[in-house]
Amino acid sequence: MFKQLLTTALLLATYWVNYLSSSGQLGENMMRLREIFPFPYMPAGRTFAIARSAIYFCLGIWCIRSWTKKWKNNETNNAILPRFWISSVLNIIWIFFTAREWYALSVIIIAALMVVLWKISSIITQFRKQHEFHRWTIVTRNAFGLYTGRVTTATTIVGISQFIYIIINNQRPITMRWTVLVICFGAYVAGWLFWKHRNWAQLAITLVALAGVMSSVLG
């Protein structure tokens, strides 16, 4: 019971902090990052909104299903939960740091979040190799596939560029050469993740993100 209560509370807290950030109540509105950073590949706000809505909807379904008796006793679900708690705390901190315009710290946090989500993806993949396929796998793979795909592309394309632009005070992230380099790097990492886990939800949200990036680049 405690695990389910903590999972639900952290997910609801993440929802709430996202709402506060999107409405500008925590400081800088995350939907306005495109206006703050002059990167030609910064996706439009609607791209973030679509991705975030899909992720939190699927995570909500996963959270509700985690209350069932079968899931409570599931070995893989129990292995995921502690890492999900960490990811939720990191997500909240990332949103808060971004809203307070502590961008360098926010990039470090989202990179840590990405690593935690990669570990969760590895657990799910290992589960599929060792157990028979069932509905729990579908819900979990879709939820965390979307989550991992979005955070990975955000970190490898936008996050790295933000860090260099702020810390090194370098104009390179706004050049076309850097644009091509960082998009290729983000696509490579996303492709590696798909090859490793064969998660179609992760691939789908990656393609949405890359489409948003290319739309911004091409105007």
- More reliable by pLDDT, 183 or 70: 183
pLDDT category of residue 183 using cuts at 50, 70 and 90? very high
Residue 30 maps to a domain: no
- Tokens representing residue 15 in the block: 């929802």
Residue 18 maps to a domain: no
27: left (phi over 0), alpha (psi -120 to 50) or beta: left
Residue 65 maps to a domain: yes
Q: What is the pLDDT of residue 53?
A: 85
Whether the pLDDT of residue 186 is over 90: the answer is yes
Q: Answer whether 199's CB lies under 8 Å from 150's CB.
A: no
Give the C-alpha separation, 63 to 71, whole Å: 10
Q: The pTM is what?
A: 0.89
Quick: pLDDT tens for 65-119.
877 766 655 667 778 889 999 999 999 999 999 888 899 999 999 999 999 999 9
Q: What is the pLDDT of residue 69?
A: 64
Average pLDDT value for residue range 170-198: 92
Please count the structural domains in the chain. Answer: 1
- Tokens representing residue 194 in the block: 């798909």
Q: What is the pLDDT of residue 73?
A: 59
Q: Average pLDDT, whole number, for the chain?
A: 86
Q: What is the pLDDT of residue 129?
A: 65
Name residue 35's amino acid.
E
- Complete DSSP assignment for the chain: -HHHHHHHHHHHHHHHHHHHHHTTSSSS-GGGHHHHS--TTPPPHHHHHHHHHHHHHHHHHHHHHTTSHHHHT-HHHHHHHHHHHHHHHHHHHHHHHHHTT-HHHHHHHHHHHHHHHHHHHHHHHHHHHHS---HHHHHHHHHHHHHHHHHHHIIIIIIHHHHHHHHS--SGGGSHHHHHHHHHHHHHHHHHHHHHH--HHHHHHHHHHHHHHHHHHH-
pLDDT-above-90 percentage for the chain: 48
State the residue range of the domain holding 187.
2-9+43-218
- More reliable by pLDDT, 115 or 168: 115
Residue 200 maps to a domain: yes
Quick: pLDDT tens for 106-151.
999 999 999 999 999 998 888 776 665 555 677 888 899 999 999 9
Length of the chain: 219
pLDDT category of residue 29 using cuts at 50, 70 and 90? low
Residue 52 maps to a domain: yes
